[in-house]
Amino acid sequence: MLWIVVGIIPGIILLVMIIFWLFRGHWKLLLPSTKVFCKESGWLRLLNLQFLHGYIYLRWPSYYIHLGIDYFAPLFKRGFLDWMAKHYHGKVLTYELAKAIITLNKEIPLTDLEQIIPYPTARKLVLDGSPEIIVCDCPCRSFRDNPCQPTQVCLMMGQPIVDFKLEHSPETSRLISKEEALTILEEEHSRGHIHSAWFKDVLLDRFVAICNCCKCCCAGIEAMVKYSSSIMASSGYVSQVNAELCTACGTCAEACPFNAISVNGDNAIIDWVKCLGCGVCTTQCPVGAISLIRDGKKGIPMDVHMLSESL
């Protein structure tokens, strides 16, 4: 069944591409950001359909993710999830690391990214030190029946993606300052939501967005918890419980988006394998009994200051 779908979808996309080519004389009808996105994609992406794939994702992200998590994942399970993890991958960020990316004031070229994002498509990246930032509706929350509020919490950065979203979805996206982006991060952090940096190879092999994810709506978290997908990489930290302070109230277990905490007797217990070091438990614990510690076995943090100093 999977191979039938895998065969049909490229066929449909190819048909659309042929139509696009036949009407190439009407290039002037395309929005400016679409032209830029098409040009930056290059011929290889046009021929292997990655351009159209990326266009569909940017243009209709809620429908795209809705189909993936609610239909393809349950139907094809491992095959689809393995494919998704290779093309869409997130790096969990602590609150401090997310703020550092937003406030970065110089360009940083990063290489050997497989140590940070352990996927073969994530090999190099340039973080723009003064990127344009938009906030847009979270596609994961938008297709849920009763989504967490507010829905406008996704931060997308850099060109041509910023202009593309502003031109194609002006009703759900807007340009914001770094100060407003930091306010959104802080508010989402206080709600117990996690921050993650997302990389998508169909979007010019680049860093795309900082998402602020809740465990009840986020498709990435659902793929991790429900289907054991490896779509999200650890922050490079792991939670640690201070047994002397812990009151076994269970607040941390309820807050953990990855079901990595349980309460056993007088203490909370951290499941090292499941913990991705998001830090939600550290801020939700009412007595401050949990902290984050660096763990080399969990990968390298996406610490832009540390990485820039190593260049």
Give CATH for domain 237-294: 3.30.70.20
- Read off the pLDDT of each residue in 120-138 and give the average, rounded to a whole number: 78
pLDDT of residue 26: 47
Query: What pLDDT does residue 239 have?
Result: 97
d(CA 131, CA 104): 9
Nearest to 159 by CA among 200, 203, 197, 216: 203
- DSSP state at residue 285: -
Which tokens in the block code for residue 186?
């802080």
**Phi then psi dihedrals of residue 162, to 5 deg:** -60, -50
Query: Among candidates 226, 236, 271, 233, which has minimal Cα distance to 253?
Result: 271
Mean pLDDT of the chain: 83
Residues 174-199: tens digit of each pLDDT: 999 999 999 999 999 999 999 999 88
Percent of the chain at pLDDT > 90 equals: 45
- The segment(s) of the chain belonging to CATH 3.30.70.20 are 237-294
DSSP 69: I
More confident residue, 116 or 248: 248
Percent of the chain whose predicted confidence (pLDDT) is above 70: 82
**What is the arithmetic mean of pLDDT over 233-248?**
95
The per-residue pLDDT for 284 is: 93
Are 258 and 232 in contact by the 8 Å Cβ rule? The answer is: no
What pLDDT sits at residue 123? 59
User: Sheet of 133-137: strands edge to edge?
Assistant: 173-176, 133-137, 152-157, 206-213, 194-200, 88-93, 232-233
> What DSSP assignment string belongs to 120-152?
TT--EEEE-SS--EEEEE-HHHHTSSS--S--E
Give residue-wise pLDDT tens across range 253-266: 999 999 999 998 88
Sign of CA dihedral 94, 144, 54, 3: positive
**pTM for this prediction:** 0.84
Q: pLDDT tens across 99-111, in order?
A: 999 998 887 777 6
Give the max Cα distance, the chain: 72
Q: How do residues 22-50 score in pLDDT, each as one tens digit? A: 555 544 557 888 888 877 777 666 666 67
